Amino acid sequence: MKGMVYLVGAGPGDPGLVTIKALEVLRRAQVVVYDQLANPSLLSEAPAGAELIYVGKKAGAHAVPQEGINDLLVTRARAGLTVVRLKGGDPFVFGRGGEEAEELAAAGVRFEIIPGVTSAIAVPAYAGIPVTHRRYTTLATFVTGHEDPTKEEGTIPWANLGRNPGTLVFLMGVKNLAENCRRLMEEGKPPDTPAAVIEKGATLEQRTVTGTLADIASQAQDMGIRPPAILVVGGVAELRDKLKWWETRPLWGKTVVVTRSREQASRLVALLAAAGARCLEIPTLEIGPPDDYASLDKALFQIKDFHWIVFTSANGVSAFMERLFGQGKDVRALGGARLAAIGPATAEALKLYGLIPDVVPQSFVAEDLAAALAPHIFPGTRVLLARAQVAREVLPETLEKLGARVEVAPVYKARPPASLAPEAETAIREGRIDVLTFTSSATVHNFAVLLGKERFQALAEKAIVAAIGPITAATLKEYGLTPQIQPDSYTIPALAAAVIDYFGGEK
């Protein structure tokens, strides 16, 4: 069995710029050999059992020397494995991908090149700087900012660059920034030529400093610019003031805590991050099986006897279906039962199984679900309530008062995690939290357990607090906290929009 190596460009910092083909091979990789500049979130695309090997390089510190990287690729491929060599930007633009491909070819190892969006064009674009523009230049030149120090003679044609009328883009040049600028001016480039330095481009930590060729190095030093960074020299750099967009989004620079479970956080994180927020996931719920399946198994055995099956969360839908299918049944087993969902997210979860709920209330709380069901409930109506093991009792109690025979079947249990992750602990200790978001009463209670009540209150007093709806807001008030943000519609998109609108007003 022959192995295969894919030399894959991960693109610049924004993981959304990775190509479809790159994701396709990453999702079937058996080994991933990745760089410092490849966004670590892309590693989650690899299969659960894949071997992840970090070989990142920083100035003066290489996790694995280049010869070791070459050997890794060859030996893993010769073992018959599918290897993804994940490199920041494009593998053939100052990425040493050509050298690695040469080694693979010499070793007789099959390989394929998957280009990536190079930071040479993407990072200036994220800073609002087009590398070409008809009014300014039709020429762009990419230059390494730190040439191989082992060369006997440099190969950068400084005299040509000094006379070059186009845009110059220097990659990886922070260490030599002042020297590179000096060489350009020495070779004829006007000192007042617009210039910009962009640190950690296309990420949520991007910083940009603008100036002229004469002063850009000192300005970058004053701002404490650190690698990785790109230097852009040319008239196009002056367009940044008009074209900057990445750093002007409403949540730029804000750190937002997302307290949903890991399984549920992705949608809220995506919406907030699209508005520029740095999202810090502090899951307060871990979704797992209930302590006992007896009630649910009994209900599934008698499933055709129920008139209504009521779901109060998307988690409840997936857990219910998993148990149903595990017993060798499918949705036909639901027979003539009608379905109710507490809100649109739960309704969408049902639609994944080809099921359309008969009742979805206007507001997404238990009281309104009970009110929406009331016209359909008569003495003797049998209702199966598939919900979390620990939940408010208002729904079953209300339906029973109307004469329904309600059977509560716990389908999952939401447990608090054991402790805070180190990253979260550090951010809280350093006071870097701007917004706290809560999507249920359980997230509030469990967050208080994780931090301790007093620490929770102290943190919330300095941050903006957002609650998804009135029940969650009422739970916050139990801790003496009043949320500043609460959407009219109790959904994740509405919560994200409310947070964005709150800070958008400041802009």
Which residue's entry shows tokens 């650190």? 226
Please list, in sequence order, all residues whose beta carbon lies within 8 angstroms of the beta carbon of residue 350, skipping any fewer than 6 positions away.
311, 317, 339, 341, 356, 357
For residue 268 the two structure tokens come to: 């809220």
Chain centre distance of CA 146: 32
Phi, psi of 195 (to 5 degrees): -150, 160
Q: Are 94 and 172 in contact (CB under 8 A)?
A: yes
Rounded distance between C-alpha atoms, residue 6 and residue 10, angstroms: 12
Which residue's entry shows tokens 């990789």? 29
Burial of 49 (0-12, 13-18, 19+ CB in 10 A): exposed
> Given phi > 0 = left and psi -120 to 50 = alpha, else beta, which region is 452?
left
Query: CA neighbours within 13 Å on the CB side: how many for 194?
Result: 14
Rounded distance between C-alpha atoms, residue 442 and residue 182, angstroms: 60
For residue 229 the two structure tokens come to: 């960074």
Rounded distance between C-alpha atoms, residue 424 and residue 433, angstroms: 10
Q: What angle do CA 285, 289, 291 make, to 5 degrees?
A: 105
Q: How many helices (H) and strands (E) would you count in the chain?
A: 19, 21
Q: Are 381 and 307 in contact (CB under 8 A)?
A: yes
Rounded distance between C-alpha atoms, residue 110 and residue 82, angstroms: 10
Q: Are 494 and 504 in contact (CB under 8 A)?
A: no
Measured from the Cβ of residue 419, the count of other Cβ atoms closer than 10 Å reads 9
144 forms beta bridges with: 171
Active-site annotation, residues: 35, 57, 172
Q: Are 71 and 22 in contact (CB under 8 A)?
A: no
Q: Are 359 and 337 in contact (CB under 8 A)?
A: no
